[in-house]
Every structure is written in structure tokens, then in C-alpha cells.
Chains A and B, each alone.
Chain A
Amino acid sequence: MSARSMMSQRPYSPPAANDGKWRRLLKRVWFYRFYYLLALPGLLYFIIFHYLPMIGIVIAFKDISPFGGVAGIIEAPWVGFKHFNRFFNSIFFWNVIENTVIISGLKIIFGFPAPIIFALMLNEVFRVKFKRFVQTVSYLPHFISWVVTTGLVTALVATSGGLFTEWLNELTGERWTFLTNPDQFRGILTLTHVWKTIGWSSILYLAAMSAIDPALYEAAAIDGANRFQMARHITVPSIAFVITILFIFEIGNLLDAGFEQILLLYSPAVYSVSDIIDTYVYREGLLGLKYSFAAAVGLFKGVMAFLFLIAANTLANRLGQPGLW
């Protein structure tokens, strides 16, 4: 073999045989057998735990009994769109849709700008240690489970014994019931959401800010710009692309209004303002054992969420941003 052909052939690449297309492919596959072996366990995982449940969606079009097992699922009669129709016509339909969209919307309206403002404020802090301390503390809620977060919320605003509630009761002479009051419950959800996400969500913005060329600020300073003008005309435009892309995906996830948070905090007294699609599926399906009906509601949400995501991604691509795909 000449030195030239040795150079041109990468040491670990499939043999370039002159066989037919399929034979060549087979040879390449065999050549890479170690890698397929590595991919196999993961592949099995995705097939079993993600694709089998997708097939399991058929129960939404059947009438399965809660205790029939797999055989029961196969034997159950087909009922077409019965469960979907029942859901669309039920009095809960608009309620859960409305709650999902409103709670999600509130979280976007308050929770989306909050980390941007937080990052802009941190960007003005020149004491490195103070900045690092505030950042580290702000990440804390991200590492805490929703169960613990619920416990902290209770400590503050529980109807009886909550520190803030008792303090407010004394101050105003009224009895405050944040967690069971339909007028205030969504506020509690929004506030808790902002508290838990503001620090962590600011990371990407701060990263984008740290990539801004300092020469821009120096030039602006020479031109006599003050810090506000710099923030407005340099910092914000420089992170605009991060803001756009993150906002689009917030919209794409509109139907995820915060299942675990709501499930842990709500109670029958506030179902009217906080029962979202996910909690409804959970109660009807796993507590009420109406598997087929709940699966239909879940499928409805899955399809809608998928369409939202596609729309968001298309929008991102239209705006010249790299989307999720």
C-alpha cells in the first residue's frame, strides 16, 4: 500500500468494498457493532418507557376497566371519540382550559421579565463578592423540591399559624386565607413560581451579557452615555435574541402550567381557579380510576401541546433564530 493511500484512509473507518449497496451497508453496520451495542440499552428504554405508552393511548378510544390488566386493555370494546366528546361537553372543560391558560399566562407575564430585570440589576453590580453571593443565594430555590417549597409557603401563609398570615391578621383585624381563597390563590402560585425560577433563569441572560464586548461600553462612555443609556442601548439589544428564543418557548409550553406545584398547593376550596388539565387528568384517572376518560383528556393535551411547540418553533425559525429543531 502506498504512503499516499494510507494517508487518505482514516485508520478507523469502514472498508470501502465494491459490493452492492445493501451488502456494503451491512458491512458498515457490522463494522460499527460496538456502537450499536452501546446504543441498545438506551434504545430499549425509549421503546419501553416512551413508545409503549404512546401505543397505550389506544385506551382513550376504548372502555377499559381499572382492574383488567393488559388483557383487559386488548379485549376492551372500542368506543371511538366517546371520551373526548364527554370531556368537550363537560362543565369542567372550559374551566380547566381557562385555568391552565390563565395560570400559565400569569407565570409568563410576571415570571418571564423577572429574571431579565434581575440580570440587568446584577449587571450593574461591580462588587464581585456581593454579586456572587446574591447569585448563589438566588439559585437556592431551584435546588429545593416542590414538596419543601410547599412547606415554606405554608410556613408563611398557612391560614392558621402562617407567619405572614398571623402578622397580617393582627395588622388589619381581618382573617386572611391565602391558600383557600379563590381570589388570592393564583397570586400565590405566580409568586411561588417567580421565587423558585428567577435566579436560575437569569443564568442564560447573564451569560449573554458577559459576552458583550466591553469596548462598546467604553465607546458609549466616551460619547457621554450614562449607565441607563448603556443598559438600554447596549445591554438589552445584545441579549434580545436570548429573550426572543426563551419567550417563544415559554409560549410553546403554555399548557404546562405547573402540575406538581399546583397538585401540592391546591385544595377543593380553590379547584375553581386552579384545576388545570394535568391535575384534572390525575384526579379523574388515578384517583377516580376512569383510565380511559383521563387518557383521552391527557391525549388532548399532548396533541395541543405538540401543536403549540411546532408553532413556536416555526415562529423561531421565521425570526431567524435556531429553534428546537
Chain B
Amino acid sequence: MLKLSRNEKMAHATIYLSLILLTLAFLIPFIIVFSTSFISDDEFARRGGYVLYPEEFSMGAYDILFGRSQVILNAYSVTLFRVVVGTGFNLAFTITMAYALAKRDLPGRVPLTIFVFITMVFSGGLIPRFLLVDALGLRNTLWSMVFPGLINAWNMLIMRNFFMSLPEELFDAAIVDGASPPTVLLRIVLPLSMPVIATIGLFYAVWHWNSWFDAAIYIDRSHLKPMQIILRSLLETTNMQGLEELAFIEDPPPAASLRSALIIVSTVPVLFIYPFVQRYFVKGIMIGGIKG
């Protein structure tokens, strides 16, 4: 171990302190929201807003979100649909195309890749995209949250690069043994690619979980609205009674605690899962950072 001079020790103390403060900066907003989700009417009136820690615990906000309302459970199921079915579609489309474009001597491979690449640097913009989804009759269907984002070009190229890095001899050997191209894909390539498929799948899943804008412009019907939309309408309204989604509440709890509870409810799954899967994400960034 290096011996540190006095100056360096000072510097190290500063660095550790800064990092601790930074860590707190990441965590404190969540702590505030978590605490506020438990405060009651009285406490809210007394303390006048969001709190760092609750003085007494009240489950009122959660009671309302889950007990008296189908809205939240319904929004959860729409979000789950997006995450499960949407990610499944994403992966199927991404893997098949990436695998085809990874075939080195495929005639037309380069033009096809350029065809995809162009969409990364130029897009028709918001309005034509909106009119297209409208014209296809996808508005106010769950598919409006699945089809427009089927393939992320960047993810597809990451996966293509991974397929290209697999040794060609592997396929040749299988073909010699009498395997057909579909068999090679299903029996050899896919099992070998599970790490990159998991990574890309997680990218898509988090994107679906967090997406708000597509649903905001394509979905008007209450029963098709995902979690993020409900959360958004609760956050932007100043008057709880005015909110269509929560009109059933006769005696609403303080806005701050209801909002906080909904933030917690819509974030907890991510909070619990991400520490365990983050290494996949880091891996994904690394593969993406290397030009293929």
C-alpha cells in the first residue's frame, strides 16, 4: 500500500466526505418521499408539507391506493402488460434482425445495416409519428405502447455485434453435423447469448416500466393508462377532487402523502431489482461503447 503524505490524507478525507454527501443527495429525495407517504392529515396540517421523517405512522394513503380503488391495480396490470408482452416482442424482433445482419456473407447486409442506421440520425419527428399511430388505428389500444418502439436500433446493433463476435467455426461444425440454420439459431446461438439477451431485455423492460410520453399522447381511456400516467396526473393536479382517476375518494388524505405513496408504489419494484441486475446494464454499456 502506498504511503500517503499529509496533503494526500487531507485530499482523501475530502474525497470520502464528498462521496458520502453525494450518496446522501441520491438517497434523501427517496427518504423524504418514503416518509411523507406515511403522514396523516393532522400531521400534514401541523407540519405543512413534505417531511424527512414521520412523527406518527399512518397507512391512510396506501389504504386508499389499494383498498378503495381499482385504479392503481389496473394501472399496474397495464404496466405489467407493457413490461412482459412488450419486452417479449422487443426481444423477438431485435434478436431475429440482429442475427440476420450478423451473417457476414449475407448479400445486402451492409445496405440493410445502413437502412437501420439512418433512423438513428434522422427521424420524421413527433407529429408524423403521432399521425401514423393514429392512422394505423393503434390509438387507445395497448399495442400503441408496444409496436412504435419494437426495435431500438442501438440495442439491435449491440446484439448484432455480439453475434458477430461468436466464432464462425461453431456454426460450421453444427452444419456439418446436419443442423439446419433454424436449429443453429435455437440450439447453439441463443443459449450462448443469454447474457446479452438478458442485458438487452432489461434495457427494454426498464424502458417500458418508465415510459410515460407515448401513453400520454396515444391513450385517453382510463382503463388503458399505465402507472406512470396515473402518477403524473396525481402529481400535476393541485385539487384532488378534480382528478377523474381518483374521483371516488370522498375524504382524500393530504395530497403530498398520496403522491408520495404512489411514487413509492411505482418505484419499489425497480428499487429492489436494480442493485442485482445493474451489472448486466454496465455490461451492456460496455458492449455498446465498443464500435463494431
Contacts and interface: CB of A to CB of B under 8 A. Distances in A.
Interface of A: 10-14, 25, 28-29, 32, 34-36, 38-39, 41-43, 45-46, 48-57, 59, 69-70, 73, 118, 121-122, 124-126, 130, 133-134, 136-141, 143-148, 150-156, 158, 160-163, 166, 195, 198-199, 203-204, 207, 221, 226-228, 259-260, 263-264, 278, 281-282, 285-286, 291, 294-295, 298-299, 301-302, 305-306, 309-310, 322, 324-325
A10 to B, nearest CB: 6
A130 B106 CA distance: 49
A325 B38 CA distance: 52
B119 A46 contact: yes
Contact of A306 (B12, B121, B260, B270): B121
Contact of A260 (B119, B213, B266): B213
A54 B115 CA distance: 13
B175 A53 contact: no
Contacts of A53: 123-125, 128-129, 132
Interface of B: 1-2, 4-5, 7-8, 11-12, 15-16, 18-19, 22-23, 25-27, 29-30, 32-33, 36, 48-52, 92-94, 96-97, 99-101, 103, 105-108, 112, 115-117, 119-132, 135-136, 147-148, 150-151, 153, 156, 171-172, 175-176, 180-182, 185, 206, 209-213, 217, 228, 231-232, 235, 256, 259-260, 263, 266-267, 270-271, 274-275, 278, 281-282, 285-286, 289, 291
A166 B48 contact: yes
Given A29-B107, A53-B124, A59-B127, A226 B212 contact: no
A144 B210 contact: yes
B129 A166 contact: no
Contacts of A133: 23
A12 B278 contact: no
Most chain A CB atoms below 10 A, which of B29, B105, B108, B128: B128
A40 B89 CA distance: 14
A202 to B, nearest CB: 11
B209 A12 contact: no
B206 A54 contact: no
A299 B129 CA distance: 12
Contacts of A125: 15-16, 19
